[in-house]
Amino acid sequence: MSPRGRPLCTAILALVTLGLSLSACGGDEGGAPTLNWYVFDEPGGSFTNAAKNCSTDSYDIKVQVLPADADQQREQLVRRLAAGDTSIDLIGMDVIWTAEFAGAEWILPLEGKAAEAATKGKLEAAVESATYEDEVYGVPFTSNTQLLWYRKDLVKTPPTTWDEMLDMSAKLEQEGKPHLIQTQGQRYEGLTVLFNTVLASSGGSILNDDATKVSLEEEPTRTALEVLSKYARSDGAPDTLSTSIEDDNRLSFEAGESAFMLNYPFVYPSAEANAPEVFKNLGWAMFPRVTADEPAHVTLGGVNIGVGAMSKHPDEAFEAAACLAGEDNQVYAATNGGLPPTIESLYSDDTVRETYPFADELVATFKEATLRPQTPLYNDVSLAVSGTLHPLEDIDPEADVDKLRDAVTRALNGEGLL
């Protein structure tokens, strides 16, 4: 540890907000080193299982638990990384952290055979999410995306576009049947994800190709805002839309109040366990398109494993990262944690397909996936987007194109948010 490393570590631990164990700052007491893996506490035990599987006589992998909330995870890691904490060997990184952490030189790039091994056989979008300025900075471990979930007892054929979904919802309401469309509308990352998906599906993007300037071209941006405004003002939007997050959507759907839901695959085992009457009629389909002739480009989620730049054991950490994201651990995460794999061939695995009967729809969605802007300033950009668009029912498609461009420009210029 550097001369100032241990005092820094002690100071950081004094911050109550970090809430992390004192053991994370300890050095190795002889023998095989301990590799600290900072990652959220996955309830199915996927990460602890992987750490156990990949610990060897050469090193022991210890999970250092981060909060479930992604914003809190990032806050704790940023504090430690910015302080040069040498205890951070491995990081379970949300896909949106790659550019920020790499740009700040908080994680190490994978080179040569290590980069090749980390990306071989992986979903292309997952590899892109771990890449910054043409260098790979993480091993893709788990992925995620949203599908359209619907009630087969209410809808014979799922809608393929937003307009079809709204029309079906209106018809169900006229018939006095459950008709709500659940999605994420609270002012948080989920709202940015929704907009990013609809914008990409309209042919637009938030930033330009190298993520240095605002894009938000007039026509696709206005189209995306029109879609969201039309939905939010329809009778298909729940009264709680402005405060809805993924789990709220799940609960409302399981309660039998809704006909449609845009959400992640975790809703499938949840409905099976908690709402058998809903589950027996649970259908799934591709995310609705904006226009019939252009597939939806759904925003990618997931976890990549990065190696901390201040780690005292980088060689061991790179080796461990490759093991942690190996096939067996990805299958375990898929079947026990509801975390879809990044290894494309695993979607043909019988165990995975049994867990995900919608595996084909997931792969098809991944192949058309879009990423969130890969900029070190992503956190500010996301806040600008969600802050401008919330609540969705107040969107003015004509006026808010310029308003949105201005907010994102200010975020990129570090001018703060109004």
Radius of gyration of the chain from its Cα atoms, rounded to whole angstroms = 22
Whether 342 and 394 map to the same domain: the answer is no
Q: What is the pLDDT at residue 83?
A: 97
pTM of the model: 0.91
134 is a domain residue: yes
**How many structural domains does the chain have?**
2
Helices (H) and strands (E) in the chain, counts: 18, 11
Q: What is the DSSP string of 77-125?
A: HHHHHHTT-TT--EEEEEGGGHHHHHHTT-BPPB-HHHHHHHHTTB-HH
250 is a domain residue: yes
In degrees, to the nearest 5, what angle opens at C-alpha 319 toward C-alphas 363 and 138?
45
Whether 180 and 231 map to the same domain: the answer is yes
Helix (H, G, I), strand (E, B) or coil at 224: helix
Gap between the Cα atoms of 11 and 293, Å rounded:
56
Taking a C-beta distance cutoff of 8 angstroms, is the pair 372, 301 a contact? no
pLDDT by residue for the chain (418 residues), tens digit each?
Answer: 333 333 333 333 333 333 444 344 444 556 899 999 999 999 999 999 999 999 999 999 999 999 988 889 999 999 999 999 999 999 999 999 999 999 999 999 999 999 999 999 999 999 999 999 999 999 999 999 999 999 999 999 999 999 999 999 999 999 999 999 999 999 999 999 999 999 999 999 999 999 999 999 999 999 999 999 999 999 999 999 999 999 999 999 999 999 999 999 999 999 999 999 999 999 999 999 999 999 999 999 999 999 999 999 999 999 999 999 999 999 999 999 999 999 999 999 999 999 999 999 999 999 999 999 999 999 999 999 999 999 999 999 999 999 999 999 999 998 864 4
Gap between the Cα atoms of 328 and 350, Å rounded:
13
Whether 152 and 292 map to the same domain: the answer is yes
Whether 20 and 96 map to the same domain: the answer is yes
372 is a domain residue: no
Range of the domain at 35: 5-144+300-367
Helix (H, G, I), strand (E, B) or coil at 9: helix
418 is a domain residue: no
Taking a C-beta distance cutoff of 8 angstroms, is the pair 136, 130 a contact? yes
Beta strands 301-307 and 139-144, pairing class: antiparallel
Whether 51 and 165 map to the same domain: the answer is no
417 is a domain residue: no
Sign of the CA dihedral 218, 220, 223, 228? negative
How would you write 147-215 as a 3-class SS string? EEEEECCCCCCCCCEHHHHHHHHHHHHHCCCCCEEECCCCCCHHHHHHHHHHHHHCCCCCECCCCCCEC
- CATH number at 159 reads 3.40.190.10
Whether 105 and 244 map to the same domain: the answer is no
Gap between the Cα atoms of 54 and 351, Å rounded:
21
Cis-peptide, bond into residue 288, ω within 30° of zero: no
Taking a C-beta distance cutoff of 8 angstroms, is the pair 51, 59 a contact? no
Tokens of 321: 């990262």
Helix (H, G, I), strand (E, B) or coil at 299: strand
Element (H, E) at 73: helix 70-82
Phi, psi values for residue 195, rounded to 5°: -65, -45
292 is a domain residue: yes
21 is a domain residue: yes
Whether 15 and 37 map to the same domain: the answer is yes
Whether 139 and 160 map to the same domain: the answer is no
Gap between the Cα atoms of 21 and 38, Å rounded:
11
269: CB partners within 8 A, 6+ apart: 338, 355
Whether 213 and 253 map to the same domain: the answer is yes
Q: What is the pLDDT at residue 14?
A: 36
Whether 258 and 386 map to the same domain: the answer is yes
283 is a domain residue: yes
Q: Give first-to-last CA distance, the chain, whole Å.
A: 42
Whether 294 and 305 map to the same domain: the answer is no
Q: What share of the chain is helix, strand, coil (3-state, %, to 5)?
A: 45, 15, 40
Gap between the Cα atoms of 32 and 373, Å rounded:
40
Q: Which residue has the tokens 């696709």?
A: 220
Gap between the Cα atoms of 354 and 207, Å rounded:
39
Q: Residues 247-251: contacts with CB within 8 Å, 24+ apart?
A: 248/182, 249/182, 249/183, 249/184
Gap between the Cα atoms of 80 and 101, Å rounded:
12
Whether 261 and 276 map to the same domain: the answer is yes
